[in-house]
Amino acid sequence: MNVIKSVGNAITKVNRAAAKFAAFLIFPLIFIITFEVFMRFVLSMPTKYSYDLAWMMYATLVFLGGGYVLAQNKHVRADVFYEKLKRRGKMIVNVLCYPVFFFTSAGALVYSTFRLAKSAWIYGETGFWTDWQVPIAPIRTVLFLSMAMLAFQGIVKFFELFKKPEEGGLTEKSEGGVNRNDA
């Protein structure tokens, strides 16, 4: 059990570090956009590269933060019904929904982003949105890695469901079954 906990902590630390790195991308992103606005509207000399740099930095910022957001329970959830459930109901919903919804979609995203990144590297694909024609393999690789990190964090969150309540989990308080105050 300690090995699983150690691996889970390591995954969470990697996601935290990736999110902190990604958060600092806001500063060069602001600079690039401000520079482009100045070049376009003050000097009437728009750049070829600012659009591509801006969307790639923003995508990196958003996607690398996904695993961290999941680790912090700050992701979007339909709280209309979920928050009204008691501990046991939340446990049942989570145990059923993680495999059905999260793992299937995360698996599909990891698989598809891997294929996209692989083909971008093999064929040297470039962006067609601007004249710059930037290579898109790096951003597709970031996308794949962020989806893999999100999937691994989802596995960690799924295993955390089975922790005892005193350890932050949603399992029953009493060993022999349901605690009457919570069911």
- 150-170 pLDDT tens trace: 999 999 999 988 876 666 555
Give Cα separations from 135 to 25, 36, 110, 125, 142 (angstroms): 19, 20, 21, 6, 13
Which of 17-21, 85-89, 133-137 is the least confident region?
85-89
From the centroid of its chain, how far is CA 148?
9
47 three-class SS? coil
**Contact criterion met (CB below 8 Å) for 148 and 110:** yes
Q: What is the pLDDT of residue 84?
A: 86
